């Protein structure tokens, strides 16, 4: 058995319970990962609150993780036991059901194609903060065809996605000028991410912004109002559903390990920096408190959970397993947690 957060009915964060669930068994193309850190995303809350896509209870929430490979299926070729990996495990089968239980657990099973090796320069917490948000951020630029040299206006510069949109615009996509919005207490933080100009939305309305921009990237679904800052033919990206303006292009993330791998040089040279909300990282036992903070809508960067902090436990067990099953001794040791 393993410790995991799960729910058996839709509802507020109080439906979440911490308890014992069976260890997932990795399929032939999957890794079993000991989760060392996980990150929350608004989709984890939305999916818990109502049936956005079909779910079999119990649901273990969580898409993002960083951890250590402890077992692997027969057809896994890219990773070995002991590798440190990270990724967004959110993947659906043909019926639209999620293939995996989530990452707010001691272990998760995930297709090798969805993860990448964790950059050594990142802690598990920093790595876990990236996948879903950065995959979303990248996809918006790609979907709407951002071109190097364009100016960009980012709505929601302090959020999980917005912090990465700013950094990618500046260092990956070659924006000539990056403007981002946030509230008064976060202005200096957003400047520190590399924005050339920060607009405090408590003081300045979109309609009062003088300049018009080549590309509008709205991360909060405010395009109905924010579209006034876009030039006439400028692409407008909305990552919320349904898009909030007829001109807005809805962009959804692409889940893969490859898009994380592409970012490795930018992570290693410090151009792309994970942003962990300062109230965290939260302890594994404090997941409800972490959701409470996420659901205020005021998180700064990513809300991160340290899932399992005792690397020594890894050495207590043998990882040799037949038929991809984790030895019983392993699960017994883990239940000491």
Alpha-carbon distance of 161 to 155, in angstroms, equals 10
Burial of 86 (0-12, 13-18, 19+ CB in 10 A): buried
Q: How far is the CB of 149 from ligand NAP (least distance, A)?
A: 25
Among 29, 123, 240, 321, binds ligand NAP (CB under 6 A): 240
Alpha-carbon distance of 254 to 113, in angstroms, equals 12
Q: How far is the CB of 295 from ligand NAP (least distance, A)?
A: 8
Among 27, 88, 167, 181, binds ligand NAP (CB under 6 A): 181
Residue 78 binds ligand NAP (CB under 6 A):
no
Site string for ligand NAP, 296-335 (x = CB under 6 A): -xxxx-----------------------------------
Which helix (DSSP H) or strand (DSSP E) does residue 332 occupy? helix 328-334
Among 15, 42, 289, 309, binds ligand NAP (CB under 6 A): 42
Alpha-carbon distance of 152 to 165, in angstroms, equals 10
CA quadruple 215, 172, 221, 251: dihedral positive or negative? positive
Residue number with CB closer to ligand NAP (2 or 136): 136
Residue bearing tokens 């918006």: 140
Q: Which stretch binds ligand NAP (CB under 6 A): 2-10, 60-68, 96-104, 291-299?
A: 291-299
Q: Which stretch binds ligand NAP (CB under 6 A): 20-28, 68-76, 87-95, 177-185?
A: 177-185
Contact 205, 155 (CB under 8 A): no
Q: From the CA atom positions of the chain, what is the Rg in Å? A: 20
Q: Are strands 197-200 and 177-182 parallel, antiparallel or unpaired?
A: parallel
Q: How far is the CB of 154 from ligand NAP (least distance, A)?
A: 9
Where does this chain bind ligand NAP (CB under 6 A)? Answer: 41-43, 133, 136, 155-156, 158-162, 181-183, 186, 201, 219-220, 222, 239-240, 252-253, 294, 297-300
């Amino acid at each position: 058995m393993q410790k995991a957060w799960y729910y058996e009915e839709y509802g507020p964060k109080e439906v979440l319970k911490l308890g014992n669930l069976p260890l997932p068994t990795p399929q032939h193309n999957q890794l079993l990962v000991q989760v060392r850190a996980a990150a929350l995303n608004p989709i984890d809350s939305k999916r818990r609150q109502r049936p956005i896509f079909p779910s079999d209870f119990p649901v273990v929430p969580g898409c993002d993780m960083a951890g250590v490979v402890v077992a692997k299926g027969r057809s896994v070729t890219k990773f070995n036991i002991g590798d440190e990996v990270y990724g967004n495990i959110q993947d659906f089968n043909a019926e639209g059901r999620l293939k995996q239980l989530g990452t707010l657990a001691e272990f998760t099973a995930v297709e090798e194609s969805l993860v990448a090796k964790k950059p050594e320069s990142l802690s598990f917490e920093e790595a876990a903060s990236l996948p879903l948000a950065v995959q979303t951020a990248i996809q918006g630029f790609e979907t709407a065809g951002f071109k190097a040299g364009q100016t960009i206006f980012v709505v929601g510069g302090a959020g999980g996605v917005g912090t990465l949109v700013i950094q990618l615009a500046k260092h990956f996509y070659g924006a000539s000028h990056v403007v981002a919005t946030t509230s008064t207490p976060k202005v200096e933080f957003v400047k520190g991410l590399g924005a050339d100009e920060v607009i405090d939305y408590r003081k300045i309305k979109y309609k009062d912004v003088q300049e018009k921009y080549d590309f509008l990237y709205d991360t909060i679904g405010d395009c109905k109002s924010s579209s006034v800052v876009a030039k006439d033919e400028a692409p407008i990206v909305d990552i919320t559903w349904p898009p909030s303006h007829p001109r807005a292009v809805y962009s959804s993330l692409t889940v893969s390990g490859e898009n994380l791998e592409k970012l490795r040089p930018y992570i290693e040279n410090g151009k792309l920096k994970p942003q962990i909300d300062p109230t965290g990282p939260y302890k594994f036992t404090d997941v409800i408190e972490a959701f409470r903070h996420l659901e205020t809508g005021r998180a700064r960067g990513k809300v991160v959970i340290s899932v399992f902090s005792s690397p020594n436990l890894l050495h207590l067990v043998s990882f040799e397993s037949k038929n991809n099953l984790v030895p019983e001794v392993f699960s017994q040791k883990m239940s000491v947690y």
